Structure 1
Amino acid sequence: MSKDSDNEKKLSRYAESRMRLVMDSFNTPRDEREHLYMPVALAHVFFPRRDVKLAPAKSWKHSSGDFSLRIKQVSVENPRTGEEEFLGVPFGTQARLLLGVINKMALQQGSNKIDIEADSLTKFLEKIKLTDGGNQIKQARNQIARLASSIISVSYRQSDGSSLQANMPIVKGFDLFPQSQPEQMLLWNRHIHLSLDYWDELQKHPFPVALEHMLILKGNVRAIDFYTFLSYRLHSLKKPLFLNWTIMKEIFGNDIARMDHFKEKMRNAALLVKVAYPDAKFSYDSNGWTFENSPTPIPKKGVLILP
């Protein structure tokens, strides 16, 4: 069988899977959509979209408007070697989806100690619809390990020029180098602990996104970031919001050098988002983007009431 034929089959399977997700979302009433939660800051600044190779002392940073996100790697001692290891910072689709699911479970259970209710990572991912097996399990394991060995710092510049900043480990409580299973990084634990600082921020400023929409977009991390931004901003707009292409690139294209390349990728991401979130009202031209008040992906009556 030719390589082109193999690629066509893979594309066909991917297209079929995407179509099923679109139809499932279309057939799910708005008030029955399954929701995830993100802290408000992560609707303005985002994790890396791809794996970034950093020196141990270096942090990853994304700034947009008044928000700034810095992710610092924390060294983890490997008990088998006695050496300090840096696992890298969380990135890509899996990190965003996993964090959204973990946030939801914490808010539902009203505690920073989360009962996962699954005996293995595989069962957990199947339960939350984030895997069909194979390499996705390995990727998820890697992203949870990175979430567990990173500290995020979110700062916000206030109107008086001062800055609010919080340094927050995210996930705690994992044995990243289990001696009982030395071939398997990250021992699964039925309980995940969110750090108290992160838990406090999440309780104060959560906002919902629809899992059905996120699954449609999971093949394009820029589309997920754009969707997250729209989910938070559109419903609160009192009048149209205009952002020029330079500002849009600052928010969604910090990983792309050339503006013409960014414009192409951003237009493609917007097409996907419109499929997942057809109620979102936005348009663009050569000058920039215009956003208008739109219904939220999750109706307000479906939003979780915190204990």
Structure 2
Amino acid sequence: MSRSDDGQDLFGFKSVGELVARVAPKRPSRVTQRLIDASAEIALSPSEQITYQHTVLCQTGLPYRSPGDDVRLWERSNGRAYLRIEAGGAINPDKGGFVDLPLPFGPKARLILIHLNSEAIKTGSPEIEVEDSMTAFVKRLLRNDPNGREIRTFKDQLSALSVATIRLAVTDSQRAVQVNTQVVTAFDLWFPKNANQRILWPSTVRLSRDYFDSLARHAVPLDERAVAALAHSAMGLDVYTWLAQRLHRVPDGKPQFIPWPSLHEQFGQGYAELRFFRRAFLKVLKAVHTQYPAARFEADRKGMLLRNSAPPVAQRLVLVSKTGSGS
């Protein structure tokens, strides 16, 4: 049979090998497979591992990516919730003084906050044993042993969170409630002299009393399986926690409409044009819906319509002991 140079015969037919290659299913990426597996697990059984995020952090968010070492202040607001984070510094024993650390950013900073919140809620104490619990948490998220680079990235974000000053505020028509604090008030940081040395977690961190008390009143429960499935995406985690906090509060029979410009303002970091943000957001929203199948909403060219939905985790009474030292 006569063939052209590109492997196609002159009558327009492809070879058998090329046809098989076209119809054979592609192996899903690791991220896609993680979303598929978690979605199946969530559909079959309730969560045994519940994690928590502060309600203000469900409505606002950290930077998606590093804003640059020269950016020392980050502010976000959404409705009645306000967030302000100031980057901090830490003592470096080798240099004999304070060194500036960057603002926390990205999915790993969000995962660390969720982990610290969850340990505090579960133990009823602001003091958290980090070394063992964080390693176990990271292993559950990644579903394998983390490598040195992954551990280092988590370590860097934990350090940035530990020294940052955070201000959380919620307002209503009559008053404003504001917490000015550091999430973490006591910690130890280990600076290896050799960049190839094993990076160690701090043994413990202590949440500030103000943040701990605020968390006890405003913790939003999340399904850890969904958090793990979305661990690659800062926007995905933000959209999931936002829906977890928001949808069950929508009045039944009274859906709430959010136009695209408002969604862009809340989630559109890095997207100058609305059309590019809309495309990215819809892709993320589809992935989030696989992890929160009870979520009821519609999205069209005008915006997003939110309907009353069951929360991703059945509401449980959050009991936090007032024992433990914090400042």
TM-score w.r.t. length of structure 2: 0.81
- Map 1:243-258 → 2, pairs under 5 A: 243-258=258-273
**1:174 aligned onto 2:191:** no
| Distance across 1 between alignment mates of 2:30 and 2:140 | 22
Distance 1:186 1:171 in 2: 20
Within a 5 Å distance, the mapping from 1:22-61 to structure 2 comes to: 22-27=39-44, 29-30=45-46, 32-55=47-70, 58-61=72-75
Residues 1:188 and 2:205 are matched in the alignment: no
Q: How does 1:243-282 map to 2 (within 5 A)?
A: 243-282=258-297
Report the Cα distance in structure 2 between the residues aligned to 1:130 and 1:70, rounded to whole angstroms. 33
Decide whether aligned partners of structure 1 residues 217 and 291 sit closer, same or farther in structure 2, where only a CA change above 3 A counts.
Answer: same
For 2:270 and 2:104, how far apart are their aligned partners in 1? 15
Tell me, what secondary structure is at the counterpart of 2:187?
A: coil
Q: Give, in whole Å, the separation in 2 of the partners of 1:10 and 1:82.
A: 52
Alpha-carbon distance change, 242 to 108 in structure 1, aligned in 2, over 3 angstroms: same
In 2: Cα distance, 1:132 partner to 1:188 partner = 15
What is the alpha-carbon distance in structure 1 between the residues aligned to residue 208 and residue 27 of structure 2? Answer: 40
Q: Separation in 1 of the partners of 2:264 and 2:48?
A: 30
Partner of 1:153: 167
Q: In 2, Cα distance between the equivalents of 1:128 and 1:218?
A: 7
Q: Unpaired runs of 5+ in structure 1?
A: 1-8
In the superposition, relative to structure 1, how do residues 306 and 144 fare at CA in structure 2: closer, same or farther (>3 Å)? same
CA distance in structure 1 between the aligned counterparts of 2:144 and 2:85, rounded to whole angstroms: 26
**SS of the residue aligned with 1:36?**
strand
* Identical counterparts, % of pairs: 28
Give the structure with higher Rg (CA): 2
Secondary structure of the equivalent of 2:227?
A: helix
Greater Cα offset, 197-206 or 168-177: 168-177
Which stretch of structure 1 is more off in the superposition, 37-46 or 10-19? 10-19
The aligned runs of 1:74-93 (5 Å cut-off) are 74-93=88-107
| CA distance in structure 2 between the partners assigned to 1:297 and 1:85 by the alignment | 41
Deviations 1:89-113 (Å, cap 9, x if unpaired)? 1111111112111111111111111
Q: Conserved in 1, the CA contact under 8 Å of 2:182 and 2:211?
A: yes
CA distance in 1, matches of 2:31, 2:152: 19
SS at match of 2:91: strand
CA distance in 1, matches of 2:199, 2:103: 15
One of 102, 122, 133 as aligned partner of 1:108: 122
1:6-55 deviations in Å (ceiling 9; x for gaps):
xxx9973443344333333333x12x342111111111111111111142
Residues 164-210 of structure 1: CA distance to partner in whole angstroms, max 9, x if unpaired?
A: 322120124332244xx433697533322111111111112111011
Query: Which moves more between the two structures, 108-117 or 190-199?
Result: 108-117
The AA in structure 1 aligned to 2:84 is: R
Change (3 A) 1:274 1:306: same
For 1:261 and 1:202, how far apart are their aligned partners in 2?
35
Per-residue CA shift, 1:146-175, capped at 9, x if unaligned? 111111112233314x54322120124332
Which residue number corresponds to residue 291 of structure 1?
Answer: 306
Q: How far 1:279 sits from its partner (Å)? A: 0.8
Structure-1 residue corresponding to 2:81: 67
Q: Displacement, 1:122?
A: 4.0
Query: Unpaired runs of 5+ in structure 2?
Result: 1-25, 322-327
8 A contact 2:88–2:160 mirrored in 1? no
Number of residue-to-residue matches in the alignment? 291
Higher mean alpha-carbon deviation, 204-213 vs 129-138, is at 129-138
Q: Label 1:191 to 1:127 Cα distance change in 2 as closer, same or farther (>3 A).
A: farther
Alpha-carbon separation, structure 1, partners of 2:294 and 2:204 = 37
Partner in structure 2 of residue 6 of structure 1: none
1:20 and 2:37 are equivalent in the alignment: yes
For the 8 Å contact 1:174–1:187, the answer to whether it is kept is: no
When residues 174 and 185 of structure 1 are mapped into structure 2, their CA distance, relative to the original with a 3 A threshold, is farther
CA distance in 2, matches of 1:128, 1:117: 16
CA distance in 2, matches of 1:146, 1:101: 15
1:206-261 C-alpha deviation (Å, 9 max, x unpaired): 11011111111122221211110110111121121111111111211143211111
Question: Is 1:230–2:243 an aligned residue pair?
Answer: yes
Q: Distance in 1 between matches of 2:193 and 2:87?
A: 22
Name the counterpart of 1:214: 227
> Is this contact kept in 2: 1:63–1:250, CA < 8 A?
no
What is the distance in 2 between the residues matched to 1:188 and 1:172?
Answer: 16
Contact persistence 1:49–1:93 (CA under 8 A): yes
CA deviation after TM superposition for structure 1 residue 130, in Å: 6.8
**For structure 1, which segment, 184-193 or 271-280, has the greater mean C-alpha deviation from structure 2 after superposition?**
184-193
